[in-house]
Structure 1
């Protein structure tokens, strides 16, 4: 069985995503962890693109990289004490947590190997983005407006906190 170019790209993106995720956990500097998290988010967006879910890939980049990762970086930069001081990163719980993590990984692998996975892809309508847009302005117009008001309040609150007095 020959490996297709798409499988090679999938393996490379998966290794990048998992490597960045591992560095998020292992990095001793909080700012560096936030930057590794951005790399991991890019990897997930690339996997969405590889699955031909363009909307999810763009949403991943805009929401997680554009908003959440930027928020984490700014929060890290505003708490300078955590960036400058070196904290002790290990304690007596490190060994216990490693054992629990390995046991949970084993349980996850066992469960995933016992699942009867479908062999054929489920057909997806071609205009899913248009369907999402229509749902936002018809059936879900009230929740959409509530979320927009919450975002506006958060933006005004951030401006009030950030402005100089």
Structure 2
């Protein structure tokens, strides 16, 4: 029954978020949607994903969106345009970093690490491992490349947001 309450709350607040024209109300509706999704994760015994939902999305991304909405509503007569300079150097450096990371990841032998071998056989050895440990092992072995690519994309987005937020007249 609690699952259906959280699911209905998520769907209704998500629909309100899409249909409203007020950005601040849409941000608060996103808060209700993300909190109800965290409640669904708790009901599904996905403790790590629920805490991650609360910390990353509710605590970080939503606060950033709400601050962006509140700060951008006071900006008048200014256009937010990015001035791209030295695209060639950025592409060359990012390709070199990508090639270096891809080479390092393909040459590494993760299966020889002791903590991965003991974590992989935890069920066989008879002790209970948490979802955090199994997610950590999967992230550092099978999904290390998507994990690193996502972290680089988030870093680039953070640098772009910081650049756009600077006052270009005083720099």
Match of 2:135 among 117, 122, 132: 132
Q: Check if 1:29 corresponds to 2:32.
A: no
**Pairing 1:95-114 to 2, within 5 Å after superposition:** none
Shift of 1:31: 1.0
* Cα distance in structure 2, aligned partners of 1:73 and 1:154: 17
Shift of 1:34: 1.2
Q: TM-score, normalised by structure 2?
A: 0.53
Shift of 1:49: 0.5
Say if 2:3 and 2:40, in contact at 8 Å, map to a contact too. yes
Structure 1 unaligned spans of 5+ = 1-6, 82-124
- Aligned equivalent of 2:37: 44
Residue 142 and residue 17 in structure 1: after superposition, are their counterparts in 2 closer, same or farther (change >3 A)?
closer
* Cα distance in structure 1, aligned partners of 2:149 and 2:14: 33
What's the CA shift string for 1:116-164, capped at 9, x where partnerless?
xxxxxxxxx8533212211222333333333323322322232232234
* Cα distance in structure 1, aligned partners of 2:151 and 2:15: 35
Q: Check if 1:73 corresponds to 2:66.
A: yes
- Cα RMSD of the aligned pairs, angstroms, is 2.9
Q: Check if 1:142 corresponds to 2:145.
A: yes
Shift of 1:55: 1.7
Q: TM-score, normalised by structure 1?
A: 0.55
Number of corresponding residues: 116
- Aligned equivalent of 1:59: 52
What's the CA shift string for 1:21-44, capped at 9, x where partnerless?
343244341211111111111011
Residue 155 and residue 21 in structure 1: after superposition, are their counterparts in 2 closer, same or farther (change >3 A)?
closer
* Cα distance in structure 2, aligned partners of 1:79 and 1:130: 41
Structure 2 unaligned spans of 5+ = 75-127
For residue 142 of structure 2, give the secondary structure of its aligned residue in structure 1: coil
Residue 16 and residue 131 in structure 1: after superposition, are their counterparts in 2 closer, same or farther (change >3 A)?
same
